[in-house]
Homo-oligomer: A and B are copies of this chain.
Amino acid sequence: MKSKIKLTVDAVVFGYDSGNISVLLVKRKYEPFKDGWALPGGFVLENEDLEQAVQRELSEETGARINYLEQLYTFGDLGRDPRGRVVSVAYFGLVKPNAFKLTASTDAKKAEWFDIKKLPKLAFDHKKILKIAIERLQGKITYEPIGFELLDKKFPFSDLEKLYTTLLDREIDRRNFKKKITSLKVLDELDEKVSIGRGRPASLFSFNKKRYFQLKKEGIIFEI
């Protein structure tokens, strides 16, 4: 006998753009929760592993292709889905929102970014999933420089600072913050500057991934 338990994956994908953290949601095309907003996701196929399933669903429903994706948690409570017993493996992703264009298709009427402070009502237990994802994001950013996944290849230092103040929801001393990041040597300063409207032009930095993975291997941690 085959199991009646069904398996889905859901993705909580965060983006960051000039002072706002947003999450990728889709409008459902079908019942249950037709026309409701939900996390992108869907049933896992028999011949794909979990991460492939998430990537496929994300690409089908939103057009997104995500580099940073990790498993978040598996939700298996009874009654979390009106269609019966559905267990969902949730993933956590980070992306630069302007890295691709949103294009809904299968299962989704449309895909949109929502500021995490202005969320619509969500289908299923997705509010709970999102809450756990936000906690993970805030926790993680204090000990791993995943913030870089949310920024462009080249960015002024102030972008990084603003990202952290937004994510942690508190002020950061610019000098101390720079000292700490600099001491890690994970940033390369480029010979380039940008000026955004008025004000002194800012040097651009890029993230040195090689150095970061080396640090991680050595077990060195990062703490804001």
Contact = CB atoms under 8 A, between A and B. Distances in A.
A78 interface: yes
Given A2-B4, A7-B7, A44 B78 contact: no
Interface in A136-157: none
Contacts of A95: none
Interface stretch (A30-38, A46-54, A183-191, A202-210): A46-54
Contact of A76 (B2, B44, B77): B44
A149 B90 CA distance: 28
Contacts of A50: 74, 76, 87
A178 interface: no
B76 A46 contact: no
A47 B78 CA distance: 7
Interface of A: 2-7, 43-44, 46-50, 71, 73-74, 76-78, 85, 87, 89
